[in-house]
Structure 1
Amino acid sequence: MRKTFLLAACTAAALALAGCGGSTAGTAAPAPGAAAPAPVAQITTIDQLSDAISKSTQGKTSASMSMNMSVGGQSITGEGAYAINGSDVKMQLTLTVPQMGAMEMRLIDRVMYVKNSQPNAKWLKMPVDPNDPRTAQFSQIIDQVDVTKQFDQFKSISTMKGKAEEPVDGAPATRYDIAVDMSKAAAAATTPAEKEQIEQLQQSGVQNVDMQLWLDQANLPIQYKTAISAQGQAVTVLVKLKNWGEPVTVTAPPADQITELPKGN
């Protein structure tokens, strides 16, 4: 059970990072005269939603996040932040996992550091290697974190089912309801690992994934939620985003507090 929840925790972190990456175009402000965000009334298709998010996140390469992942009725919660500079992704995240307590994670220079809450625990150093099944998912996240590319892909694999004015934490927001076709997602997969993950979901009975995305009045993503049922087990992920564009600093742990990931399995 501990291994199951550790895997779920890592998956939750990966999902959070994948779903809320900012544009990788740089940190400069949008050029004078750039088009304003599309009014809510004009966003009625996936294409328009993708374009609106691309414009709103231009130049905003960092954010803080909170998350709640429910797996089979048990909850994994987390707080953290991330920053993107081209292919360089930095993240810090503290997760609270059932039966395990708190777990800290740091991603810097394509190395993941993980530490549990046990007294005198050291940081486990895991170089992110696409050929190592233990860290391959994180490599995939790093390589595909650009939200603009994600929504470009959504154009061919998803449809918008509806939208509604729905505040988030008391602030005005619009909720967009999206359906993702897993067969189309598998066909559009860009790597063998990504295709395999999608096919595993399909084999467990997941043919479509419902996603809800909330944008604020500037069309910045401030919350998203996904829900699936696989092999009779419900899994939901809720992520909240804020502080778009604010500085984020992530540092590697001191060398004397690190232990290396053993080779092999």
Structure 2
Amino acid sequence: MLKRTISMTAAGAALVVAAVAGCGSNAQPIQVNLAASEVLAQAAQKTSDVTSYTVDAVVNLSHAQEGDGKVQGRMLYQSKPELAVDLTLDTVDMGGRSVPGGVRAVLQGDTVYVKVEALKELLGGTKPWIKVSLSEMGGDSAQVSQYLTQIQQFDLGNMTKLVTASQDVKSVGTESVNNEDTTHYSGTFPVDAAVQQLPADKQEQAREGLAELKDVKFDIWVAADGLPRKLALNGSKEGATLDATLFFKDFNKAVNIQTPPADQVGELPKGTNN
């Protein structure tokens, strides 16, 4: 049961974060006369300059077999001087089954630290954090891999590329998001076509994350610098539904991502990473 809960949680979070919008810091203000599709294309082009950001997310999902679920949390991200991510999921619930204490994962370089009380007990750990070297982690450590997948899916650039597959995006007005002026764009994108916009090594992961959906409706609020401040996603297929809202801030601001104290970290028990 726990493994199923972990799997559904990962799928839900991966579905959302695979869709998160990417942006760049050296953007010039977008001209108001640009067509909506051109705005998305420019935003996709600006993703490479972003080196850090913060995202807050609330994800509501349902599944014909698993029931209703909710994932809520936040993530800090930096790409320089080395890749570092701090992911906190305060609420992880699916079908009335929750993960007590939530989930915490920290990635620095090629090492991931995971803190899940139920996962610690399942793997027989004695310390609150489990440390895993990505270069040594094999396919059998599925529980840790699920949370690593969630981290990897928080790729801002990939989302912008996904929404550029939209053939019906349009501007629907201007709105304030967290006291910033933005332009609101709305549209849909077909999953199959959207996945083709991604780099080849990202397509399979995104396809798996979006497998339960057909056409995804999106709303994105873009500020004058071309960076998204808010993203909403809605989709459904054969009884599975997704309703997610994400807020972005602190682009290219310094983030403080710390690994847990050494005396609180244990190794992945032998026999689970081969």
TM-score range, shorter chain: 0.7 to 0.9
Identify the residue that residue 176 of structure 1 maps to in structure 2. Answer: 185
Percent identical pairs in the alignment equals: 22
AA of the residue aligned to 1:95: L
Matches of 1:178 and 1:160 in 2, distance apart?
5
Q: Is the 8 A contact 2:102 2:116 kept in 1?
A: yes
| 1:27-48 deviations in Å (ceiling 9; x for gaps) | xx74xxxx73222331421x43
What do you get for the CA RMSD once the two structures are aligned? Answer: 3.7
Alignment of 1:94 with 2:94, yes or no, is no
How many residues get paired?
A: 249
Q: Quick one: distance in 2 between partners of 1:121 and 1:131? A: 21
- Write the distance in 2 (CA, Å) between the matches of 1:58 and 1:199: 25
TM-score (norm 1): 0.74
| Distance apart, 1:177 and its partner CA | 1.7
Residues 22-74 of structure 1: CA deviation (Å, up to 9, x unaligned): 54xxxxx74xxxx73222331421x432214544x664411112110112243
Q: Give the structure 2 partner of residue 212 of structure 1.
A: 219
SS of alignment partner, residue 58 of structure 2: strand
Q: Distance in 2 between matches of 1:144 and 1:67?
A: 11
TM-score by length of 2: 0.72
Per chain length, whose mean CA-contact separation is higher, i.e. which structure has more relative contact order (CA < 8 Å, sep 6+)?
2
In 2: Cα distance, 1:187 partner to 1:80 partner? 26
2:155 to 126, 145, 149: 145
Measured at CA, do residues 61 and 167 of structure 1 come closer, stay the same or move farther in structure 2, by a change above 3 Å?
Answer: same
Task: Give 1:1-265 correspondences, 5 Å limit.
Answer: 2-11=2-11, 14=14, 15-16=16-17, 19-23=20-24, 30=26, 36-45=28-37, 47-52=38-43, 54-55=45-46, 59-72=49-62, 73-85=68-80, 88-96=82-90, 97-98=92-93, 99-100=98-99, 101-116=101-116, 122-128=128-134, 132=139, 134=142, 135=145, 138=148, 142=152, 145=155, 147=157, 151-152=160-161, 154-155=163-164, 157-164=165-172, 165-187=174-196, 190-191=199-200, 194-195=203-204, 198=207, 201-202=210-211, 204=212, 206-262=213-269, 263-264=272-273
Could you tell me how far apart the structure 2 residues matched to 1:7 and 1:20 are?
24
Structure 2 stretches of 5 or more lacking a match?
63-67, 121-125
**Shift, 1:246, TM fit:** 1.0
- How far did 1:193 drift? 7.2
Given that residues 160 and 176 in structure 1 are in contact (C-alpha distance below 8 angstroms), is that contact kept between their aligned partners in structure 2?
A: no
- CA distance in 1 between counterparts of 2:208 and 2:197 reads 12
CA shift, 1:240, in A, is 0.5
3-state SS in 2 of match to 1:172: strand
CA distance in 1, matches of 2:238, 2:36: 33
Q: Give the aligned residue type for 2:39.
A: Q
The separation in 2 between residues aligned to 1:246 and 1:59, in whole angstroms, is 12
**Partners of 1:62 and 1:42 in 2: how far apart?**
27
Q: Report the secondary structure of 1:40's partner residue.
A: coil
